[in-house]
Structure 1
Amino acid sequence: MPHAESPTPTTRGRALGVYVHVPFCSVRCGYCDFNTYTADELGEGATRASYADTAIGEIVASGPAGGGRPVETVFFGGGTPTQLPAGDLVRMLRAVDDSFGLLDGAEVTTEANPDSVTPQSLATLRAGGFNRISFGVQSAVPHVLATLERTHDPAGVPQAVRWAREAGFEQVSVDLIYGTPGESMDDWRTSLEQAVALEPDHVSAYALIVEQGTAFARKVRRGEVVMPDDDETADKYLLADDLLTEAGLGWYELSNWARDEAAQCRHNLLYWHSDDWFGIGPGAHSHVAGERWWNVKHPAAYAQRLAADGSARHDGESIDAATAHVERIMLETRLRSGLSVSALGDGARSQVPDLLDRDLVTLGDDRLVLTRTGRLLADAVVRQLVD
């Protein structure tokens, strides 16, 4: 696959990425509020067989708006991108390269469920330019997976990871969820220990959030399941940090740990640094040059809009300086690299001594960085800096 020349540091400017949304899942998990659909929820014009060609149409139409900047990261998310044939994912990636230009050494990720890949599909993806894969493992404990309505057998995860390594993927990431109702500390320790045993380059561990409008939220409201309290959730975060750190994975964002700097997810860092990205697919969001916009959500409407107008854009907004400032504080505070104190206003800077006294942050080289205690109270720290 041809690649664009790498820009010099003085000409690079804001990094550019592409997110490709694949809205298909074999089963819709009750806790999920992502824009995803099972096959029987979709009508004509939104089939898996036709999806790649539809998305390629949007990629081709979006390319000129990239302004000639090569793409540094591509991320296929969902849904489960690997519900589509590997060849279709490769065709979409090729369209990104043809329309935007891929930077030499670009990070190209696909999410995958452990039971949605084969040695053959992984080999096709790797040969087609994918170099990073993120497996949605969530838990290694069957009863926890059942509560989450995940369909894969945890016993098959090591095999999927081995296949990815054998196919030549440079980076393998594992996604975990903690705080599921009924999950004990021992259950969570088991999931962490089995994740570490996979020797991943990267681990994401997120607390389960009850999203309004989901089946899971309705169960909580009816008292059918009980969410853990904040102290238990904090203890599980600390356990994750302990075990992952002992395994040589360092935190670089509140919920993400990596083997080294090269293993950090460059695409997510692009989000956290408020760089630019184009979102492809139904419901996908874009953020370019101070403008944010998003596509129509339903896959059938998405396909129809593209066919009729050449654009699936639903709405958008301009990001003013005040909003950009608040978002910078919210996002960069989450990072181990921290937030520049000089970027704060006088009111926020006046809060720094209190945050230092309470051992919520450290300060060095003009960077405000959360302590371990501060990570547990990150939202409160952000509120103090924003207010």
Structure 2
Amino acid sequence: MGGLYIHVPFCRKKCRYCDFYSVTDDSAIPAYIKALKREMQIREWDAGPFDTVFFGGGTPSVLPPGRVAEILERASLIFGIAPDAEVTLEANPGTVSQNDLEAFQQAGVNRISLGVQSLDDQTLQFLGRIHSAFEARLALDWAMEAGFDSVGCDLIYGVPGQTRESWTKDLEDVLAYGPDHLSCYILTIEESTPLGRALERGEFSPMDEGRVGELFLHTSDFLESKGFLHYEISNFARGREKACRHNLHYWNHAPYLGLGPAAHSFLEIGRQWNVSDLEIYLAMVNAGRMPMEESEILTEEQHMLEWLYTGLRQAKGIDAGEFLRRFDKAFLDIFGPDWKRLQDEGLARESSQSFALTKKGMLFSDGVCQLLANRLE
């Protein structure tokens, strides 16, 4: 089975660092829901059934819980959703009440992912979040009591002015609530965002890359000492059963269908993505057209590149036998000399069954993958 991704393109306010597609006017929510159902009909034979559903954004928690139930009911009718499917909804602590979270759980959401980002008000203000640390703490309490199978929490580090001590306190404070999953992301400053423009104006200095690296390694060691599995560069779970199954679909080459503006799909041999404009999306779907912006058929080399980037993001790495069966070539026959160099530098490790990066290697994963990708040119 595969995964269903639903992009909810509405936010109360754009965060300073975010470059995902969203709009701040939620008056179009009814039109969006109608178009989303229509897109399901248009894509009826493209994919499914699904064993994961992920509401991402944007801020999916701005949708009324009844609308989420409506979407899930229609998706189940058209595509089929497994009885034990993982159904995740991203929620901003500034947009939910205790009643909302309980209603989302009753609507069919069994995994909530709270965009806490920090429990420090100064950090939240720098990031442009709409919630306070107090509101985040309330949302964590409510989420843990709402009956979800799994509660996840997103955090951001590498923020200017942050220290090892202040970041550790953030982690300790969040862990006190007992979440099942943590996604810990290094702050990325994109040029097109308000934060990027502030950097260009010289309003702040980014954290030194060396210090960011130290925080990455500290995060991994600290959370592992607390019983978490570091299963992907940015992701930690209380045991493998609490890992995000939907994201594992992305990283392990399972098919997934994306609905809504800016949503991406991976089906069989290629990728496709929808238009990143709500008005255009609505017009295309209402005219009975697939709201696709572009698609591409992957070459064998591109498939192999996908395996590199997604496989080496994961602690388990790339399975040697699966790679051989998929590409009819042994991993070391292609990448052997470079892999040996990476091992000598402490960036890679291998066993008879897999090829994986060390923690230090994960920190430089993009550069490592680019080095290996040069062998495919």
TM-score scaled by length of structure 1:
0.91
Which secondary structure does the structure 1 equivalent of 2:19 belong to?
A: coil
Counterparts in 2 of 1:77 and 1:113: CA distance versus 1, 3 Å: same
Residue 273 (structure 2) pairs with residue 273 (structure 1): no
Structure 2 CA distance, aligned partners of 1:159 and 1:215? 28
Identify the residue that residue 95 of structure 1 maps to in structure 2: 74
**Separation in structure 2 between the aligned mates of residue 59 and residue 357 of structure 1, nearest angstrom:** 50
Distance 1:357 1:129 in 2: 49
8 Å contact from structure 1 (residues 139, 177) kept in 2: yes
Matched residue type, 1:57? R
- What does 1:1-387 correspond to in 2, within 5 Å? 15-39=1-25, 47-66=28-47, 69-341=48-320, 343=323, 344=331, 346-387=333-374
Q: Show structure 1 runs of 4+ deviating over 6 A.
A: none
1:303-345 CA distance string (max 9 Å, x none): 1111113321121111111101011111101111111346326
CA contact (8 A) 1:60 1:95 kept: no
Rounded to whole Å, the distance in 2 between the matches of 1:310 and 1:162 is 44
Check whether the contact 1:173–1:201 (CA below 8 A) recurs between aligned residues. yes
Alpha-carbon separation, structure 2, partners of 1:214 and 1:158 = 27
Q: CA separation in 1, counterparts of 2:125 and 2:163? A: 14
The answer (yes or no) to whether the contact 1:253–1:334 under 8 Å persists in 2 is: yes
CA contact (8 A) 2:31 2:282 kept: no
1:370 to partner: Cα distance: 1.6
Residue type at the aligned position of 2:18: C
Cα contact 2:332–2:339 (8 A) shared by 1 = no
Gaps of 5+ in 1: 1-14
| Distance apart, 1:135 and its partner CA | 0.4
- Alignment length (residue pairs): 366
Matched position secondary structure for 2:44: helix
Q: Is the contact between residue 52 and residue 89 of structure 1 (CA under 8 Å) also seen in structure 2?
A: no
What's the offset of the Cα at 1:181?
2.1
Q: Residue 7 of structure 1 aligns with which residue?
A: none
Deviations 1:185-229 (A, max 9, x none): 332122111121121100001111111211111111111111111
> C-alpha displacement at 1:60, in angstroms?
2.5
**Contact 1:20 1:77 survives alignment (8 Å):** yes
Alignment-mate amino acid for residue 53 of structure 1: K
Provide the aligned C-alpha RMSD in A.
1.6
Native 8 Å contact 1:348 1:384 kept in 2: no
> Cα deviations across residues 144-190 of structure 1 (Å, max 9, x unaligned)?
11110001111222321222232210000000111122323332122
Q: Secondary structure at the match of 2:287?
A: helix
- In 2, Cα distance between the equivalents of 1:360 and 1:296? 38
**With structure 2 as the length reference, what TM-score do the two structures score?**
0.93
State the distance in 2 between where 1:333 and 1:98 align.
Answer: 36
